[in-house]
Structure 1
Amino acid sequence: MSKLNHIGLDKDKSKELGEKLNALLANYSIFYQNTRGYHWNIKGDTFFELHQKFEELYNDLFIKIDDVAERILTLGGTPNHNYSAYITQSVIKESKQVTDGKEAVREILNAYKSIIKLQREILELSDELGDEGTNALMSDYISEQEKKVWMYSSYISDQ
Structure 2
Amino acid sequence: MAQQLNVKLNKQLANWNVLYTKLHNYHWYVKGNDFFVLHEKFEEYYGEAAGYIDEIAERLLSIGGQPIATMKEYLESASIEEANGVEQARNMVQNLTEDFKTVIKESKEVIELAEDDNDQPTADLFIGIRASLEKHVWMLSAYIA
- TM-score after normalising by structure 1: 0.88
Q: Following TM superposition, by how much is the alpha carbon of 1:101 offset from its aligned partner in structure 2, in angstroms?
A: 1.4
Whether 1:91 aligns to 2:57 is: no
1:105-159 deviation digits (Å, cap 9, x = unpaired): 00101110111111100000001011010011011111111011000000000xx
Which contiguous aligned blocks of 4+ residues in structure 1 show a shift greater than 3 angstroms? none
The alignment partner of 1:123 has SS state of helix
Match among 101, 105, 121 for residue 117 of structure 1 = 105
Q: How many residues end up aligned between the 2 structures?
A: 145
Letter in 2 for 1:87: L
Instruction: Look at both structures and tell me which one has the larger radius of gyration over its CA atoms.
Output: 1
> Which residue identity is paired with 1:131?
D
Q: Give aligned-pair identity as a percent.
A: 37
TM normalised by structure 2 equals 0.96
Unaligned segments of structure 1, at least 5 residues? 1-10
RMSD, matched Cα:
1.0
Which residue of 63, 66, 83 corresponds with 2:51? 63
2:140 aligned residue: 152
Quote the Cα distance in structure 2 between the aligned partners of 1:80 and 1:140: 22
Q: Distance in 2 between matches of 1:93 and 1:56?
A: 20
* Secondary structure at 2:82 match in 1: coil
